[in-house]
Structure 1
């Protein structure tokens, strides 16, 4: 019979032998290993970060998937003609989408199409844009009191931080950055474009959001970004158009047929 020391040594040896197996597997389902690499990849693709909760959820998904695959094999459903046909249809559908996506990426969007799209987008960058600061309050009386305070020497930015109800700009001293008149509500834009650089509205401006005190810090002519700056965005814009996609798919198939030997 083995003594206690031998039993302990045997147990430790067994653990040391099995440890690497568990380390490289996320789980073992009915003797079938699920590699840890699969779990790592699933966690990464989830975009939820890497933490124990996310790993547990991902591991459960892999275990569920493996159980279904094993049960499908046990029941023989994969051998059914209807199932095999559906699997083949899904496979072909995935490959068609992948081939078309690769075609679009490598040769679908032409330079001429990109240039035409850029010229069209450039027309949107007309007129002026303004560097604006504003203070938003609920009551007209409060707005008038703030205007009087600023005219008496009060600091616009500090007052905006203390009293503005606009959460997006209050912490920045009311600074909205560079905007154009088309991006703002009409009442605000109308008052803004009438101001000179460094000038503030004499009266509060009413909009659906409340009462505004507006200050134009600076203004300039709008300038379109360069072609290179917009190239990726233009390519995505063109490729997302459904009519364009249909035409390009037809074009791709015509090229494939032209090169193929079909008897």
Structure 2
């Protein structure tokens, strides 16, 4: 079935030497539509075609005209609702324009120097207090009766008593702890960040204990803990290399938000 009514292609001889004043030249017709040189040039630029390669240019011209003809044939067939197609094209245009604009706008807005300056001037954002702890956990659940909870507390206190009597922390962990993950590491949880854990636990280890101290049993939402402070709280600064990507993203977002606000306030919106 022949979809193309007529395609008249003008010679591309001289294309390579075409100057800007020739951009309005008609290079082909597809049905009743004239194809302009400037439109085809824009297509070549989009596809990043080497315009010095005449063979490649001609191949892309054929593709361009064939698709133009196919589009024309489909439009004339009236199979598709034109208003729906137009609405979809309009939305695609909006998305493309917004995306391309900000891609271009943000390209040089955030520099390596700017990222380093932000890191240096906002050091507190990249600092956190950490502490290294080990614990023995006797688990509880919210559905436990008071009697069951007392049994759990008694067991936690038994573990604490053994420690006070001279038993090694590692041996008591092996005997009592119900945290199977930390139990494999002699009860060590590792370095934890202040505020990132249960508030009762956080307060205990960050403000109430000293290095090598062992706490009496205390309760959190997880159960009863007996904690040993392995290393006292210390302020840790994340290295620049680890956070530079996050800073870049943050600065680009700030620049985008500011430009978005500027653009939106430059055009009035009136709902009828």
Query: Which range, TM-score by smaller chain?
Result: 0.5 to 0.7
Shift of 1:168: 5.3
What secondary structure, in the 3-state scheme, does the structure 1 residue paired with 2:86 have? helix
**Pairing 1:72-221 to 2, within 5 Å after superposition:** 76-78=78-80, 80-100=81-101, 102-103=103-104, 106-110=107-111, 114-115=115-116, 117-119=118-120, 122-124=123-125, 128-137=129-138, 138=140, 139-160=152-173, 163-166=176-179, 169-193=182-206, 194-201=208-215, 203-219=216-232, 221=234
* C-alpha spacing 1:91/1:126, structure 2 compared with 1 (3 Å): closer
Corresponding residue SS for 1:106: coil
Deviations 1:202-251 (A, max 9, x none): x111223221111111135313123232110112234445xx42323467
TM-score (norm 1): 0.54
Kindly provide the CA deviation profile for residues 125-164 of structure 1, in whole angstroms up to 9, marking residues without a partner as x: 5574211111221322111111122334444345435543
Greater Rg by CA: 2
> Aligned partners of 2:135, 2:243: CA distance in 1, in Å?
30
> TM-score, normalised on structure 2?
0.52
Of the candidates 246, 261, 270, which is equivalent to residue 233 of structure 1?
A: 246
Q: Which runs of no fewer than 5 residues in structure 1 stay unpaired?
A: 1-71, 254-263
Q: Is the 8 A contact 2:128 2:237 kept in 1?
A: no
Shift of 1:82: 0.7
Instruction: State the Cα RMSD in Å.
Output: 3.6
* Cα 1:155/1:100, change in 2 over 3 Å: farther
Deviation string, structure 1 residues 90-125 (Cα, Å, up to 9, x no partner): 321332343145336632335576356435652145
Cα distance in 2, alignment partners of residues 208 and 104 from structure 1:
49
Query: Hey, what's the Cα distance between the residues in 1 that align with 2:251 and 2:195?
Result: 24
SS in 2 for 1:184: coil
Distance 1:93 1:117 in 2: 33
More helix per residue = 1
Instruction: Count matched residues.
Output: 178
Report the secondary structure of 2:237's partner residue: coil
Question: Quick check: 1:104–1:239 contact (8 Å CA) kept in 2?
Answer: no
**Structure 2: unaligned runs, 5 residues or longer:** 1-73, 141-151, 265-272
